[in-house]
């Protein structure tokens, strides 16, 4: 696609203002203006106009039962960081905690840099999201060892990443997340009892505390200045970038109240955070990025900002409250109501700002905290998940009746089923940049297991052939026609010609939606999901529209399941926990791909065909930079429209 056509279609699909803002950012970047207005300078040159003001620390007595019950993990996680490793992207494995940039001597805005395979692998450790492990350890042990580790890592970062040099200053969102974590951790450690060096006199200890407070203030001030210069880019993205950067500016203002730009940071951050939320959250609570992971990140930022607002004796705009209430419910709908695990839909880049002892795939601590603030109640049973609420000083908000009145009009995601057996159909219209080509993708949860699931993301770049490959329709639980993508792939993070969806029916008996993905073929696809005993029936109808000439098409159905054993015979697939049945008036073939390799093919062809897409099928990515084998069930058949295909999903104990 040529540049002019790409620009025209981008304006049409994304809007004139976001494209204009992005263009302005690119001009300021390429012209060298950013390098001129953000020169490299020594951190110690930051002139302070007042002391660092620590945020209030949590109630130790309330935290202690949680930390004591999790003592083994608390001690182990701190030792992991002290040894120079951390759990990147929430992985259960540990990786080197490397704070070195590749281009540490070059300005972040220069073109003349050594190529980097995957920036996220550099950014992850520098986000400082691992500091919660040190904070938990210090509150439990009071040994001072975790505190010393934090200050050593902060000093190491500042030495290896001079202001505005290297990859760790390139993304203002990364700068913002780091600012929040440093402010949070420093607030705790600067207020802990004297413990890191029992041989220091009181005077020497006071001097050390002041030195560390000044270092923290200078670090945060440099970070806030970096963020404020490029917010035009964050605004152009209409996503978590703007919220992260705005929340960071509010944080800087809260802990540096006497800084020269403090008032500006607060006003700018608050304005953009509020307007960003209003733009990015739909009235029914759907988040603009259509991603469970980014939805959680948004909610964690909201919880953090709620705390900052209370410290300033300020409140949320009344018009935002209904959206915030609904967005909590919306993400909750994608979770199992007991174990807190969530559908892996949309981009999953491993972001988790605050974990505090919870597993990466457990969304319940965040939803539990947000539910208390905006719904006035806990949505999950009490347990270890409540620790996060204590760290963030979550308090129930007094709700006005007008805010409660909006609840009767709430309609969440298109779903059907009850309790721990439910199906969700992705049918929300795209309002920003689509991430995955996944409209009418089906998620099925049965007794706490995501039986029909989304593959996730794995990698954006850095591994040949895996540049954001799981964004395509062929990796989702959808139907495609003639092996064509429903939307136009215009770049690694850019889809054009957004797939338009329409909800046909929503009730307890069934849900149904359709989309225009194949209108160029004069076809319309409708998917209907009905609850049956211990499962669901799925009906896919292809309806001719316009001047349809009755051409034959190839219909492909893809279902991703957890890795397990299976048996298949005459349209019946029996797995470890569920049974799937397939039926159509048209003959069909079934293949199964595990970990990129075809392991079963019931076609009658003497020589089985190799499909390029198989390389990216049969994989599940629980977090960024990790993938594990799964089962891709691929059913194909040829026929003319109208076309009808039925799929049954039931537990093995049913019928």
Q: What total of structural domains would you count in the chain?
A: 4
Three-class HEC string of 178-243: HHHHHHHHHHHHCCCCCCCCCCCCHHHHHHHHHHHHHHHHHHHHHHHHHHHHCHHHHHHHCCHHHH
Q: pLDDT for 481-522, tens place per residue? A: 999 999 999 888 889 999 999 999 999 999 999 999 999 999
- pLDDT of 344 reads 97
Average pLDDT on 575-598 reads 95
Q: pLDDT for 124-158, tens place per residue? A: 999 999 999 999 999 999 999 999 999 999 999 99
One domain, residues 211 and 333: no
Q: Name 134's bridge partners.
A: none
Q: pLDDT for 357-405, tens place per residue? A: 999 999 999 999 999 999 999 999 999 999 999 999 999 877 666 666 5
Three-class HEC string of 476-533: CCCEEECCCCCCEEEECCEEECCCCEEEEEECCCCEEEEECCCHHHCEEEEEEEEEEC
One domain, residues 273 and 345: no
- pLDDT of 407 reads 62
Other beta carbons within 10 angstroms of residue 271's beta carbon come to 12
Q: Which residue has the higher pLDDT, 322 or 203?
A: 322
Question: Rounded to an integer, what distance in angstroms lies between the CA atom of residue 374 and that of residue 395?
Answer: 9
Confidence of residue 201 (pLDDT cuts 50, 70, 90): low
One domain, residues 452 and 586: yes
- pLDDT of 405 reads 58
- pLDDT of 212 reads 95
pLDDT for residue 198 is more than 60: no
Confidence of residue 408 (pLDDT cuts 50, 70, 90): low
47 within domain boundaries: no
- pLDDT of 200 reads 59
One domain, residues 224 and 291: no
pTM of the model: 0.95
| C-alpha dist (Å) from residue 217 to 54, 178, 330, 379, 502 | 10, 13, 38, 38, 51
**Residue reference for tokens 């505190």:** 147
Question: Rounded to an integer, what distance in angstroms lies between the CA atom of residue 92 and that of residue 359?
Answer: 8
**Residue reference for tokens 């009418």:** 440
Q: Could you check whether the bond before residue 309 is cis, i.e. omega within 30 degrees of 0?
A: no
176 within domain boundaries: yes
Q: Let me know: does 561 contact 628? Beta carbons within 8 Å.
A: no
With both helix axes pointing from N to C terminus, report the angle between 60-69 and 131-141 in degrees, rounded to the nearest 10: 100
Q: Let me know: does 305 contact 250? Beta carbons within 8 Å.
A: yes
- pLDDT of 128 reads 97
Question: Rounded to an integer, what distance in angstroms lies between the CA atom of residue 394 and that of residue 397?
Answer: 9
Give the domain extent around 9: 1-31
One domain, residues 275 and 325: no
Other beta carbons within 10 angstroms of residue 114's beta carbon come to 9
Q: Among residues 412, 440, 469, which one ends one of the domains?
A: 412
- pLDDT of 403 reads 61
Q: Among residues 236, 265, 280, which one ends one of the domains?
A: 280
pLDDT for residue 607 is more than 80: no
Q: Which residue has the higher pLDDT, 202 or 511?
A: 511
Q: Give the three-state DSSP class for 11.
A: helix
One domain, residues 393 and 425: no
Question: What's the CATH code of the domain at 137?
Answer: 1.50.10.100
Q: pLDDT for 331-347, tens place per residue? A: 999 999 999 999 999 99
One domain, residues 342 and 206: no
Question: Rounded to an integer, what distance in angstroms lies between the CA atom of residue 433 and that of residue 614?
Answer: 27
């Amino acid at each position: 696609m040529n540049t002019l056509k790409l620009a025209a279609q981008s304006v049409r699909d994304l809007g004139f203002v976001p494209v204009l803002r992005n263009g302005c950012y690119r001009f300021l970047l390429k012209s060298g203006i950013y390098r001129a207005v953000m020169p490299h300078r020594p951190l110690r040159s930051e002139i302070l106009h007042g002391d660092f003001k620590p945020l209030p620390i949590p109630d130790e007595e309330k935290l202690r039962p949680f930390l004591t019950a999790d003592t083994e993990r608390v001690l182990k996680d701190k030792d992991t960081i002290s040894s120079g490793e951390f759990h990147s992207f929430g992985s259960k494995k540990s990786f080197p905690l490397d704070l070195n940039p590749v281009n540490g001597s070059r300005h972040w805005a220069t073109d003349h840099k050594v190529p980097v395979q995957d920036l996220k692998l550099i950014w992850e450790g520098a986000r400082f999201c691992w500091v919660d492990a040190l904070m938990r350890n210090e509150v439990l042990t009071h040994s001072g060892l975790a505190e010393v580790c934090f200050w050593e890592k902060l000093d190491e970062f500042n030495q290896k990443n001079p202001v505005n040099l290297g990859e760790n200053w390139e993304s203002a969102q990364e700068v913002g997340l780091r600012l929040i974590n440093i402010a949070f951790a420093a607030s705790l450690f600067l207020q802990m009892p004297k413990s890191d060096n029992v041989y220091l006199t009181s005077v020497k200890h006071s001097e050390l505390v002041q030195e560390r407070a000044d270092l923290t203030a200078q670090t945060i001030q440099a970070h806030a200045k970096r963020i404020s210069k490029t917010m035009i880019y964050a605004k152009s993205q209409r996503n978590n970038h703007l919220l992260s950067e705005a929340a960071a500016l509010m944080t800087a203002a809260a802990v540096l109240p006497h800084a020269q730009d403090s008032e500006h940071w607060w006003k700018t951050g608050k304005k953009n955070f509020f307007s960003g939320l209003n733009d990015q959250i739909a009235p029914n609570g759907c988040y603009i990025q259509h991603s469970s992971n980014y939805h959680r990140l948004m909610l964690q930022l909201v919880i953090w900002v709620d705390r900052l607002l209370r410290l300033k004796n300020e409140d949320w705009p009344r018009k935002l409250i209904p959206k915030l209430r609904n967005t909590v419910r919306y993400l909750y709908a994608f979770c199992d109501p007991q174990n807190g695990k969530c559908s892996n839909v949309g981009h999953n880049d491993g972001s988790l700002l605050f974990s505090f002892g919870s597993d990466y795939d457990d969304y319940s601590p965040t939803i539990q905290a947000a539910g208390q603030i905006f719904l006035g109640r806990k949505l999950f049973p009490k347990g270890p998940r409540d620790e996060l609420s204590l760290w963030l000083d979550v308090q129930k908000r007094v709700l006005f009746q007008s805010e409660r009145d909006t609840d009767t009009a709430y309609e969440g995601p298109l779903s059907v089923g009850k309790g721990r057996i439910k199906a969700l159909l992705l049918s929300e219209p795209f309002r920003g940049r689509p991430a995955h080509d996944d409209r009418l993708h089906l998620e099925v949860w049965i007794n706490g297991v995501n039986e029909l699931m989304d593959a996730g993301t794995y990698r954006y770049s850095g591994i040949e052939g895996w540049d954001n490959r799981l964004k395509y329709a062929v990796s989702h639980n959808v139907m495609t026609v003639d092996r064509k993508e429903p939307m136009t792939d215009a770049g690694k993070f850019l889809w054009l010609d957004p797939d338009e969806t329409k909800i046909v029916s929503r009730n307890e008996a069934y849900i149904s939606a359709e989309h225009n993905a194949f209108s160029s073929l004069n076809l319309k696809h409708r998917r209907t999901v009905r609850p049956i005993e211990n499962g669901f029936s799925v009906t896919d109808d292809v309806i001719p529209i316009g001047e349809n000439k009755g051409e034959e098409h190839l219909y492909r159905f893809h279902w991703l399941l957890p890795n397990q054993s299976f048996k298949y015979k005459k349209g019946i697939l029996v797995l470890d926990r569920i049974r799937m049945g397939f039926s159509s008036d048209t003959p069909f073939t079934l293949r199964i791909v595990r970990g990129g390799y075809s392991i079963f093919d019931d076609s009658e062809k003497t020589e089985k065909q190799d499909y390029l897409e198989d390389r990216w099928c049969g994989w599940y990515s629980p977090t960024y930079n990790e993938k594990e084998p799964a089962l891709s069930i691929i059913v194909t058949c040829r026929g003319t429209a109208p076309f009808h295909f039925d799929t049954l999903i039931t537990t093995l104990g049913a019928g």
